[in-house]
Amino acid sequence: MFILRPDNLGDLVIFSGCLKYIRKAYPNAQITICVKKYAVNLLEHCPYIDEIVIWEHVQKTMFDDLPEFKGRWRLMSLIKYFRIFKLTLFKPEYDLFLLPLRSPTIEMHQFAKFIRSKRKVFVDDRARKTLVGDQQLQKLYTHLHVVEETREFDHELNIYRDFLRSLGIDKSEKELHPEIFTTANDREWANKHLHSSGQSISLAICPGVTSKPEKFYAAANYRKALSQFQEITFSVYILGSKGEMEQCKQVERALSDCKQVASIQNIAGETTIRQLAECIRLCDITISNETGALHIATALNKPTIGILGGGHFGRFYPWGDPEINLTAHLPMDCYFCNWNCIYPTMKCIHDMEPEVISNKLSQLLETLGKQNAHV
């Protein structure tokens, strides 16, 4: 079996709960999954898969130009053909090829054309019109799992549940709760690098946004949100990827003189995905933009506050336990815009008052039995 999933971290985390049941349905299958290079760290200890293929390697083999042969079209085409031949035809034929993505690229379809498989299954999202009017693309697949236009903003977990049903796997949304596959070394790393400050509430803040930097919630707002508390202090851990380090530094500077912050530790860019997950596991609460970190925290059943805009509201988040997985958002009439914002700035994020976050934080502290302050 070959599963093609070269998408963003959050999407892959949400899909992770499906892997266990795919393995149970096909206990004797050799299961290969193709992901982006950075995602290997998330899945390399997953017990439900046998092999990981890196999508960037596939792209280099199938789609990269050969500059040393530039201008020699026939020779370049011939070499590229044999690269593809080696990548696909020399591999055993798969019984099943899955492309459970609602927004695939043309490269993914082209790869589906060359992969050898008896059965090829694709999520045909009619709202995105991926295959509409393209007979050649439709012929690539033996089975299309259709998602009607009316379900454009259905949560991904619901879509995956129906997708699995088309494979004869009938599981509830609760059963498909995502999993994070960490190791003892990851836990040891987190315990070594996170330093608690007494009786303070440990708070993970994951403020970075790489896909759309304009979604970044202003650093000063985090300070204003925590300043609402009078008799409580926080040990703050700022987490993020290397690409989010500058955004994380902004939040660190904003919180540096906040009276409610007993200690602050910025380790953005220093963790692997699994180490980040174990850092989140050690914290009482996570505040995060709608990124992979938020989905990881929710998958770990940790209390969360997700800072959400309206672009895809409900499609990816919220999910999890509604008692502890809360959202901070500003409802607007222009929700569900697919991030095609009609304003100069993303008002649904930037116009949200910090008190919205402090109120959600107060709610979580009360739920956890740790609320000793008046907000």
Per-residue pLDDT of the chain in tens (375 residues, 90 and over written 9): 999 999 899 999 999 999 999 999 999 999 999 999 999 999 999 999 999 999 998 888 776 654 554 445 455 555 555 555 555 545 568 999 999 998 888 888 888 888 889 999 998 887 776 665 556 677 788 888 888 888 888 999 999 999 999 999 999 989 999 999 999 999 999 999 998 766 789 999 999 998 888 999 999 999 999 999 988 999 999 999 999 999 999 999 999 999 999 999 999 999 999 999 999 999 999 999 999 999 999 999 999 999 999 999 999 999 999 999 999 999 999 999 989 999 999 999 999 999 999 999 999 999 988 544 433
Catalogue the long-range contacts made by 48-56 (C-beta closer than 8 Å, 24 or more residues apart): 48/19, 48/20, 48/22, 48/23, 49/3, 49/19, 49/23, 55/6
Report DSSP state, residue 174.
T
Contact 21, 178 (CB under 8 A): no
| Number of residues in the chain | 375
Helices and strands in the chain, H and E counts: 14, 12
- The 8-class DSSP code of residue 85 comes to I
pTM for the structure as a whole: 0.90
At 150, list the tokens: 């009316």
Number of neighbours of residue 80 by Cβ within 10 angstroms: 17
Report the alpha-carbon angle 275-278-284, nearest 5: 140
185-367 shares the fold of 2-166 = yes
Of the candidates 368, 207, 194, the residue with the CA atom closest to the CA atom of residue 279:
194
Q: Exposure pattern of 322-359 as b/e (b: 16+ CB <10 Å)?
A: eebbbbbbbeeeebebeeebeeeebbbbbebebebbbb
- At residue 15's C-alpha, the angle toward residues 128 and 98, to 5°, is 65
Domain ranges in the chain?
2-166, 185-367
CATH architecture of 2-166: 3-Layer(aba) Sandwich (3.40)
Burial 139-151 (b: 16+ CB within 10 A, else e): ebbeebbebeeeb
The residues, ordered by sequence, that sit 6+ positions from 344 with a Cβ below 8 Å of its Cβ are none
What would the CATH number be for the domain defined by 185-367? 3.40.50.2000
pLDDT digits (tens, 9 = 90+) for 94-116: 999 999 998 888 888 888 888 88
Measured in whole angstroms, the distance separating CA 268 from the mean position of its chain's CA atoms is 17
